[in-house]
Every structure is written in structure tokens, then in C-alpha cells.
Structure 1
């Protein structure tokens, strides 16, 4: 028997299957009750639902630390994710080191490579007339792109995708042994890759920079290099995969909107931006209070865990007009899909580029795709949110000889 939305809000658990599929109803009920709702899940934490409260928390890096973990539950990395799980001033040093590689001008230079990867993925299924767009495209593209960025072999994407998926499943189910096994496998793979590049020839990848770079006047310690590579790899493909799947799902039953985007490619950028607000790929990130606070009458104590629900803030009726409507011409362009403040997602520009290219190439190659009749789409019950599967059909097409890659 379906539970009432108020019950789901009172006992908030963002991994609960019913909550996952009624998420924005639950958020609205939570925001109506309070800016911070106590959840008993994962040892107990405060779920923060309103835009302004979240912004204030992330701006206060002294009052709310990232050093006690950035996810609820902890996904089980063997070292801290850097710079996500450190505070200023150390955070500033490492973010400044990585920053140049993720500037928009640098990312824009990656477009030909990203487009090649997207087209290559589509070419694998475009003649079939059917596929599941999640594993075939939404998951595959970001994984190969991030492998390319790091300087890893493209064919290894399936291995590290498997490890990160296993880590999440095990973390949420409480299977510590499976979590540790997947976490150690991923860390070992990246650790070996870093060491193999130390003192070697520059291959242009970020791993080479981490292996041979300096922060301040000191070489980057191996643990910190590993922490940065883990963050780039995990965040770089998990969240973008969820965003891509959500965008493809939204477009699946809207032929009129697809036609508009094909006729006017300039609309793809605002479409992607509104998609990220409407269905943010990261449910939320965590902080830990270091001193007493008050949020909407709730007493927050030192050591309390805070889950900052970006997905809820992006539908806050105090900030957005008709927040549950998708508006291509929405006046409020800002959102928290990439976080806010010092820890705003470093890979934002890369994610946006990938999403724009995916939309463009899908509309060109399989413009009439639609969900298979009777499909019930469910969403992943993790921090990285998106449709779990998108079985679609479309008119088959073949690669023209002059387009062969």
C-alpha cells in the first residue's frame, strides 16, 4: 500500500524506492514543514531542503566542514576525495592546481574529441532500431571522456564504471566487504596508473600532471594525487551519466520540443541548463556542523551531519516560479545542480559540453526515438540520480561513407 507523502517526508530516506519515484512531492512537503528535517537514515542526519539555507551553509566553511565526508552514506573511498573533502586553505591550493585544466577555454578545445566519442557510441546502435540509452550512451560517453581526460585507455571505462557502481550499491546496502573490495580495486588501478607516469613522458593526461605536479613548493603527495584522481573519475562520469539519462528521458516523448531544438540549435544551451535545474544529477552533498547553529528553529549541534539537497533546492517555490514546470525560457537561470561556493563542481563546463553534444548528436542520428511501449522508468536510489534504464525504439539509420570514423 502506497504511503502518504507526509509520511515519506517525516521519515525521509532518499534511497527508499517510493520516495525516489515521488521525490519532488516529498521535497515540497518537507520544505513546507521546515528548512531542515531530521532523517533517521544512515545513522541520522539533517536533510536541508531550501535554496537559501543551503547557500548559507556552503558559504560557511568554518561552521560546516567537508573533512568528515561529502556523501551520506560514505561511498567508501580509501582516501579523501580532493579537493571535495578538505576545507580552505588546503582546498584552495588543490583546486587552484586543477583549475586551469577545467577552464571553459580548455574544455571547449575538447569538443572535437567529445563529439567523436558520442558519435562512435551512437554508431554502435543506430542501425539496430532499438537500444537501452543508459548503458549504450548515457553511461558510456562520460566514462570514455573522463578516461581520455585522465590519460587512461578508453577501453578501461567499463572496468572502472563497474567498480564505482559496485561501491555505491554496497555502500547503500551496508555490505562493507563488497564495498571495500570494489574501492580497493579502483584505488589500486589509479594508484598504479599514477606511479607509472611519475617521471615519465608527458602524455597530456591529468594523471601525468598529478604524478609530477607541485602544490606550493612541494611535490603532490601520492595520497593526495590518488584522492584527486578518484574524485575526477567518479564525479566525472557518475553525475554526467545521470544528467544525460535524465535529459534523454525528458526528450523521449516530446517530438515538438525535439523539432524545436533541431531547427534552432541555439536552444540546446538553455535546454540543458533548465534540464539540470529540473532534474539535478546529484541528489545532495554532505557537511558536518562544527559549532551550534539554528536552521528554521532547529538546533544543529557540533558533529551533526547535514545532507544538502540540491535537487530539493532547485524546486524551491521561494526562488522559482512554477518550479515543477520545465520552462525553456525560464527567467531564473541559476541553480544548484553543480553546487555552490568554494566546492562548486570543478567539472561543470565539461559536463555541460558533453550534454550539449549528446543532445545534438542524438537529434541528428535518431531524431524519432521513443520509449518502448509500456516502459516504466525508475531512477537510481543513490547520490548520483538518473533513470536506471531507457529502452527506446527509433528508425534505423546507417553511417554514410563520408561520415565513417
Structure 2
């Protein structure tokens, strides 16, 4: 195969624009875009007004190839999330030339990334999580009891599963692990929604401003940082066996981590630690409400619950995209990339790749194999993947045996966001035993 160039493989404007429009991720249009790209231009270049050109990887195999080459494709050289030229310029001016408002694990590369990852990695390993299972099950039982309390004398219930269960259950889990007081959880939830939902008119802090301006909402990060700075002082004065204490007292190469890096660590754990799990949990129940046959399979055979967990993560893929930057000239999928080129990894497309998944647009609780990419791959494989899967498994073990009927009770809705999105409304009607 001859090496092709970006000039030969420009993505049609309609598809390129779709990749950058938060609304396309809410109304499902993005999946039509992905389907077209996989079939016609699986690794092409998007050129959109106000955004630097970027390569777009939509096939499972290409996303894997890029993700496993961490020295060749960096997270930290440019923004790891899609951003406009205007916002990039504002951030660099504010941060002394850095393209990052925060310096979390997703903004780092080696040698810093493994040093910072190892600080908390043990907390999220399966052997450590086993000791938390009973604690998490208590939280799950409380979430199910909250649903049951919404039923009438005939056992019929109505609720918005997102607002009443899916948002709060994983939030309670990660905040208890971090050591954040329960009374502060509503504040953490609101800030998380404002951070990830900045482009959504219902979730953004200042919905009256244009979406392109809402993307640059430094106030949310300031509020997060002020909260966690105070929490750090508390944990240093009165250490506990929790993640916040660990972060507050961490050192790298014999020196305390900087304020920026400590605040960044708190923010990524506090937000990604529950928001993506909430989305996959709500996505699973949404899918089951529309597919009674799949719910019947689970009730007949609870051993399928781990399969439900993986399928819901594939189906929803809460982290839709990440950006990478080429560190040298290279070739991917027969295309000639130059040093400094920006790439978009479309995980939600890779998770619907017909070459990997049979009937990828079907939701199957018994799907095997299920080699989804929702947690990423390589050095940046999601730190909290085992916790997320355990949380969902435990909730379904408590809820599904009690669900005798389940249906939508209105119109669900997804959030508008290019980076992280999921259900923001899920009205359901149900019966519980």
C-alpha cells in the first residue's frame, strides 16, 4: 500500500463538523458519522473552522496501535481533549505557555506519568478493592431501597433513574474512598457536571453564554481547587486511611507534589471516579428498559451480570474521545503523519467496529468476546476500571433480582459533550418485588 497524505484523505465537511459538535453526541448523530468514517475514511483528517486540523482514528485496530505506542503518541504535548484555537491560546496565556489548565494523569507522559500513577494505583487494584466490597454493597442496598420507596401500594414505581440513583450511587462510593464528607457530595456532583457538561445548556454553569465560551470556564476549576486545598490542610492535620490523605502527603522524587498537581489529582479522581460509572450504569438500565428480553436473560441467569457490566461500558463508552500528539514522523493505517500532528481517538467508534464486534449496534448482555476500548489501552489504561466494574456488578446483583417490570416512562436524554457524555435524564416505570 502506498503511503497517503492528509491532503489525499480530508474528511468531508459534514462528518468533520459532526466530530466537533457537542449536540451530535447527544442525539446519536455521532454514530452515523462514525459508521460512515469506518467504511469510507477510517483514518483521515478533519478540518473545522476555529480548530487545528486533526487526524481521526475510528477503527478498533488503529486506536489500539496508537494507544500502545506511548512514546510515539503523547498526551501532554498538546491538549488531550478537543479544544478550539481561541481556548488553547487563552489557556497558554494563563498558564505560562502550557496548554493545560490542570496536570492530571491524562495530561502526563513518561517519566512523570508512571511516577504519579503509582501513588494511588494500589488503591484501585482488585486485591485492595475486595476489602471495600461489603462497604460498597451497603451503599448499593441503600440505592435500591431508595428506588423501592418510590413504589405505590401495587408495587409500581416511577423515577428518573439518572437523577435519583445513577448519579448518587458511584458518587457516594468514590467520595467515601477519598474521605470527602457526605454532606459535601452535592457540591462535588454539581462541579463535576459543570466541568464535563460545559457545552450542555442544561448542565453548564453559565448556560447563557455561547458554547465555545463556556468551554473556558476556569471558575469551576478554581472552585474545585479551593475545596480540595482546604481538604488537604485538614488531612495533613488529621491523617486518615483515605485517598485524600494519600494525595495530601504524597511525594515525588523526595519532594512534596506541587499544588497544581495535587489539585489536579483530586479533581480527576473526584470527577472521573464517579461520572463515567454513572453514565454506564444509566446506559445499562436504559438499554434494558427498551429490551425486556435482555432483562429476562439476567433474571434467569444472574451469572450474566458481569457480561451486562462490560456490555454497558461498551455500549455507552462515556469517554468518547481523547487526543494524542505525534512525537515523530510516522505511518499509521497507510497515512503519513508528521511530528506535532494532532490525533483524535474515537473510542465509541472503535467499540462499534464491525470488524471486531458482531452486530455492534445491538445490546447483548451475553456478548462474548467483548474486547471494548472504553477504558483505553496502554500506559493510560483507566486507573479505576476495576472499581467501576465492581460497583456496577454489586448494584445489579442487588437490583435485578427485585425488578419484575421495567419500561421507559418518558423521553430519556443524553448530555451534550465531545469528551465525556452520558444520560442526563432517564424516566422509568418499574415494579419491584
TM-score by length of 2: 0.82
Whether the aligned pair in 2 keeps the contact of 1:286 and 1:308 (CA below 8 Å) is yes
Structure 2 SS opposite 1:109: helix
**1:26-175 equivalences in 2 (<5 Å):** 26-41=33-48, 43-44=51-52, 45-67=54-76, 68-73=78-83, 78-81=101-104, 83-128=105-150, 129-170=157-198, 173-175=211-213
Q: Which residue of 2 aligns with 1:401?
A: none
Q: Which residue of 1 aligns with 2:254?
A: 217
Q: Which of 383, 389, 404 is 2:425 aligned to?
A: 389
How far apart, CA to CA, are the structure 2 residues paired with 1:121 and 1:329?
25
- 1:127 to 1:312, Cα distance in 2 relative to 1, 3 A: same
- 1:93 to 1:54, Cα distance in 2 relative to 1, 3 A: same
- 1:295 to 1:100, Cα distance in 2 relative to 1, 3 A: same
Q: 1:365: how far off?
A: 4.1
Q: Which residue of 2 aligns with 1:377?
A: 412
Structure 2 SS opposite 1:388: strand
| Structure 2 alignment gaps of length 5 or more | 1-11, 92-99, 151-156, 201-210
Structure 2 SS opposite 1:369: strand
Q: 1:337: how far off?
A: 0.8
Structure 2 SS opposite 1:193: helix
How far apart, CA to CA, are the structure 2 residues paired with 1:10 and 1:86?
27
1:68-121 alpha-carbon deviations (Å, 9 max, x no partner): 23222399874211x221111211111122111110111122222222222223
How far apart, CA to CA, are the structure 1 residues paired with 2:25 and 2:15?
8
- 1:214 to 1:357, Cα distance in 2 relative to 1, 3 A: same
Deviates more, 1:339-348 or 1:254-263: 254-263
- 1:327 to 1:366, Cα distance in 2 relative to 1, 3 A: closer
TM-score by length of 1: 0.88
1:315-334 alpha-carbon deviations (Å, 9 max, x no partner): 11222233223334433232
Q: 1:139: how far off?
A: 0.9
Q: Which of 20, 29, 33 is 1:22 aligned to?
A: 29
Whether the aligned pair in 1 keeps the contact of 2:162 and 2:282 (CA below 8 Å) is yes
How far apart, CA to CA, are the structure 2 residues paired with 1:94 and 1:212?
13
Structure 1 SS opposite 2:45: strand
Q: 1:213: how far off?
A: 2.5
Structure 2 SS opposite 1:326: coil
Q: 1:204: how far off?
A: 1.4
Whether the aligned pair in 1 keeps the contact of 2:67 and 2:378 (CA below 8 Å) is yes
Deviates more, 1:153-162 or 1:67-76: 67-76
Q: 1:17: how far off?
A: 2.8
Confirm or deny that 1:344 pairs with 2:381: yes
Q: 1:216: how far off?
A: 3.8
Q: Which residue of 2 aligns with 1:255?
A: 292
Whether the aligned pair in 1 keeps the contact of 2:171 and 2:274 (CA below 8 Å) is yes
Structure 1 SS opposite 2:19: coil
How far apart, CA to CA, are the structure 1 residues paired with 2:80 and 2:131?
31
Whether the aligned pair in 2 keeps the contact of 1:73 and 1:171 (CA below 8 Å) is no
1:306-351 alpha-carbon deviations (Å, 9 max, x no partner): 2211111111122223322333443323210100000000000011
How far apart, CA to CA, are the structure 2 residues paired with 1:193 and 1:12?
40
Whether the aligned pair in 2 keeps the contact of 1:35 and 1:295 (CA below 8 Å) is no
1:97-150 alpha-carbon deviations (Å, 9 max, x no partner): 211111011112222222222222332342222110001111111211111111
Q: 1:180: how far off?
A: 1.4
| Structure 1 alignment gaps of length 5 or more | 1-5, 398-405
How far apart, CA to CA, are the structure 2 residues paired with 1:318 and 1:125?
40
Give me the CA root mean square deviation. Answer: 2.5
Whether the aligned pair in 2 keeps the contact of 1:62 and 1:290 (CA below 8 Å) is yes
How far apart, CA to CA, are the structure 2 residues paired with 1:264 and 1:361?
14
Q: Which residue of 2 aligns with 1:305?
A: 342
Whether the aligned pair in 2 keeps the contact of 1:125 and 1:131 (CA below 8 Å) is yes
